[in-house]
Chains A and B, each alone.
Chain A
């Protein structure tokens, strides 16, 4: 039986792009959340965590409304760049960034919060800017949190289903990612293929998580030595 790998490749492409974009966006946000004592902090934290508790259909529904060509944002992108934000790969990336935001922000924020505050202050006193301190001092001292944020965001995006289906539909090569492909196979009772796809997903997810745990375990050991 030939296995069509396109849905997997699409899933990886989506997850890779989402991870890179979210890393850039979440870095300043999680840094701000870890350092601020503003009263707005719990509000921002609650907003960031919303995708964890909301049903994917709710997120998908709102994203559809916001990105549709009839909306201001969707209309703007379509008129100016000719980019359709719903039922397209671009739309999937935007939706994934919303959906996976907490999986990037939360590990980074707790990583920043666990750093020795005096170490960051020592960097400022050495004349370094916030950006230099973030890059040269903070991030290298929280590698496990950094890796967790990147891998979990990637893995979570690969595992998306509800939001992807609502915002992207199932266009082969464009929005038909692995999880949607499996859903369709089950619908048409192609259990053999569904088994193979699902087994690949299980194996891949397990290997990725195993790598994260092995790395973090090693980091802790180095820390003790």
Chain B
């Protein structure tokens, strides 16, 4: 279980924004975080990953990642992170990107097979399409069987066809590995398809938190008007 109670002041173009988030996330849960641009979604992910400082506490399966006097280094958190811009190691091949995280050839082969990338294993990542790059990024994030998988709008830079393919692969990997997953997304359809639970952030605060049916179906009109 993940217990999160964080506070951080962000300085954006529209003045100071107080990010105040309290969440309790169950093991294996797939949570989608939605909200307008500048609501603090990405910052929340980055604080969870240990890439940004914040006040408060984060406890993951009994281990303190963040407390009053200590912040666990991001290297020690065992997190998988999928960035919106892929952030692949561009001088390496697909396979090398995965093996850089962990020298586990069997797992790398299995992940590439699951995402239908085996034929591209020896290709340099620079030569791949956007969709392929994002799938490599997803595989790389799974290489050390993370406790927590964080994804920052992984679908947003892809076209419709690629988006549904990646969406299916995210669902497949989540089903197989059972990793607790938090994904930031603007895409209501993908969120509905993938999420167990949807959290809506506005101005740094949680304004909606419930199952996908509670948040999206009942409020579909409102949500669609907000995000699409």
Which residues of A are at the interface with B, using a C-beta cutoff of 8 A?
116, 118-119, 121-129, 136-137, 140-141, 222-223, 225
Interface residues of A: mostly helix, strand, loop or mixed?
A: helix
A65 → chain B, closest Cβ, in Å?
44
Question: 20 A–B contact pairs at CB < 8 A?
Answer: A118-B83, A118-B87, A119-B90, A122-B81, A122-B88, A122-B89, A123-B89, A124-B74, A125-B51, A125-B77, A125-B79, A125-B81, A126-B101, A126-B102, A126-B143, A128-B100, A136-B100, A137-B89, A141-B89, A225-B126
Whether A116 lies near B81 (C-beta < 8 A) is no
Chain B residues with Cβ under 8 A from A125's Cβ?
49, 51, 74-75, 77, 79-81
B115 → chain A, closest Cβ, in Å?
17
Chain A residues with Cβ under 8 A from B100's Cβ?
123, 126, 128, 136
Whether A225 lies near B127 (C-beta < 8 A) is yes
Interface membership of B85, Cβ < 8 A: yes
A122 to B83 Cα, complex, angstroms: 8
Chain A residues with Cβ under 8 A from B85's Cβ?
116, 118
B interface size (C-beta, 8 A): 25
Q: B126: which of A118, A121, A136, A223 is its contact (CB, 8 Å)?
A: A223
A121 to B87 Cα, complex, angstroms: 9
Whether A141 lies near B91 (C-beta < 8 A) is yes
Closest to A125 in B: B81
Closest to A136 in B: B100
A212 → chain B, closest Cβ, in Å?
19
Q: A126-B100, A128-B75, A129-B75 are in contact. Are A121 and B89 (CB under 8 A)?
A: no
Chain A residues with Cβ under 8 A from B88's Cβ?
119, 122
A189 to B144 Cα, complex, angstroms: 72
Whether A122 lies near B140 (C-beta < 8 A) is yes
Closest to A124 in B: B74
List the 6 closest pairs (A to B, CB-CB), nearest first. A118-B87, A126-B101, A140-B91, A118-B83, A122-B87, A119-B87
Contacts beyond the supplied A124-B75, A225-B127: 11 A-B pairs with Cβ under 8 Å: A118-B83, A118-B87, A119-B88, A122-B89, A125-B79, A125-B81, A126-B101, A127-B78, A129-B75, A136-B100, A225-B126
Q: B51: which of A119, A121, A127, A140 is its contact (CB, 8 Å)?
A: A121
A122 to B152 Cα, complex, angstroms: 13
Whether B101 lies near A127 (C-beta < 8 A) is yes
Per-residue interface assignment for chain B, residues 51 to 89, with 1 indicating a CB less than 8 Å from any chain A CB and 0 otherwise: 100000000000000000000001111111101010111
B152 → chain A, closest Cβ, in Å?
9
Closest to A143 in B: B91
B92 → chain A, closest Cβ, in Å?
8
